[in-house]
Amino acid sequence: MKTAQNATQKVQLTETVLRDANQSLIATRLPYSKFADILPTMDKAGYYSVECWGGAVFDVCLRYLDEDPWQRLRDLRKNMPNTKLQMLLRGQNLLGYKHYPDEIVKMFVEKSVENGIDIIRIFDALNDLRNIEVATKTALKCGATVSGTLSFTQSPVHTLAAFAKQAKEMENMGVNTICIKDMAGVMTPEEAYELILAIKAEVKLPVVLHTHCTTGMAYMTYFKAIEAGVDVIDTATSCFSGGTSQPATETINFALKQLGIETGLDDAALKKVNDFFKPIRDQYIKDGLLNPKMMATDTDALNYKVPGGMLSNLVSQLKAQNAMDRFEEVLIETPKVRADLGYPPLVTPMSQMVGVQATSNVLAGERYKNISKEVKAYCRGEYGTAPAPIDPDVLKKALGDEKPIEGRYADTLEPVFEKTKAELAGIARSDEDVLSYVLFPQVAEKYFAARKAKEEKVVKYTIERVDE
């Protein structure tokens, strides 16, 4: 295999089963209790890192799994002391769906590192680098490894030169690695090869590539990326790989080793990890949570540009409204909405905004009859600068005569932590609780109440047993 490097090549792997793999396939419904026992084995596998936090994990822990996401992180740290724990952070959005004041961004990053995170993959949905500056500076100050991330997409304005320029700007910000995030799995082998060479020519940092198997491109894309000298790739233990997830860890590892490329992975440990997750996967299939659509190859995504997590969410939305028969219509509408909104990359929160708007357009029978408050905020400039101009008619429908804001939206936000902490006196038990509430007020409040009720029930049960 010809590569862009002369010396013995080493390619390291990030394991995604604890975050993106299960987020893409089963909407992140993997509770800590299901995988706790395998963590000591994963700790010995030799991964570059284990992506285990951030993304939708935080929200889902509170909303659906009855878990404190901070405690999950601490438990992960305790049980994988020798492995770099990695999270995905949406810049000024953190793990929520809007921009937060700088003080919240700083404190959230500080607490993430304090509770066990080693690597923070920081991106902005619009590749507006103003929105990753605060998180990046704070993470570096805390001693974390920062992976400055490009949200990859194809459009008239997303060119090799533009991506390479942004990579250089991130290097100047002090990031430790450059990550290319192909959330929709639409990057072709040739695009990967050319983009990595362009970035490597511009910066002196390791390059990480993240993709999905959605379109069937991923394995080919990874091998062309390896030819171009990529340093790290994301993979998923094989029973949670494929479809809208990542390529299989064991398959990639086997192929690379045969080519004489070092991975540093322990084959026996990888098998134990996969054997552990197989029955878990099978149960999700039996329960119907793992939809066969998520495991299929869908080449239409090369046109729709819909990422894995967004596909599973679209299925959930349409099922909830008994409208699965409109699935294809929504997929066709999605790239049209994206073009109207200035070609934003379809990554959280933009993927949710575009997906919800496309669904609304289809189900309402009229385009933009109803415009979500999030899309209105986007048109107002609250998420940053759109990659290309927003369609004037859509802008008019969204804002009326209101003018979009100028400058960085976060600069207009007032500090809220101390005020919120005072409001939660007697409810929040830590600064982490306060941060959970700031990101997801109603969800966190419900979780806090359930946590208290559960503890009171345990105390009551214990007292009754003692009395007996």
**33 and 152, same domain (yes or no):** yes
Last residue of a domain, one of 410, 430, 457: 410
**Same domain, yes or no: 154 and 130:** yes
Same-domain pairing of 257 and 184: yes
pLDDT in tens, the chain (468 residues): 554 444 689 999 999 999 999 999 999 999 999 999 999 999 999 999 999 999 999 999 999 999 999 999 999 999 999 999 999 999 999 999 889 999 999 999 999 999 999 999 999 999 999 999 999 999 999 999 999 999 999 999 999 999 999 999 999 999 999 999 999 899 999 999 999 999 999 999 999 999 999 999 999 999 999 999 999 999 999 999 999 999 999 999 999 999 999 999 999 999 999 999 999 999 999 999 998 888 989 887 787 777 656 777 788 889 889 999 999 999 899 999 999 999 999 887 888 899 999 999 999 999 999 999 999 999 999 999 999 999 999 999 999 999 999 889 999 999 999 999 999 999 999 999 999 999 999 999 999 999 999 988 876 666 666 556
Q: State whether 280 and 352 are in the same domain.
A: no
Indicate whether 324 belongs to any domain.
Answer: yes
Domain identity same for 126 and 236: yes
How far is 152 from 182, CA to CA, in rounded Å?
5
Asked if residue 207 belongs to a domain, the reply is yes
In a domain, 55, yes or no: yes
| CATH number, residue 317 | 1.10.472.90
For residue 99, is it within any domain? yes
Whether residue 360 is found in the same domain as residue 384 = yes
Q: Is there a single domain that holds both residue 47 and residue 115? A: yes
Considering the domain architecture, whether residues 296 and 231 belong to the same structural domain is answered as no
Assess whether 460 and 358 both reside in one domain: no
- Asked, for residue 1, whether it belongs to a domain, the answer is no
Number of compact structural domains in the chain: 3
Separation in Å, CA 339 to CA 128, 158, 405:
18, 13, 21
Cα 284 to Cα 295: distance, rounded to the nearest angstrom: 12
Provide the whole-model pTM: 0.91
Residue 298 to residue 213: CA distance in whole angstroms: 9
Pair 365, 399 in one domain: yes
Instruction: Name the nearest CA neighbour of 354 among 323, 322, 378, 325.
Output: 378
Q: Does 51 share its domain with 135?
A: yes
Closest CA relative to residue 380, chosen from 405, 352, 409: 405
Domain CATH number, residue 103? 3.20.20.70
Do both 362 and 441 map to the same domain?
A: no
Last-in-domain residue among 260, 287, 314: 287
Task: Tell me the residue range of the domain where 448 lies.
Answer: 417-467
Q: Choose one of 373, 390, 410: the last residue of a domain.
A: 410
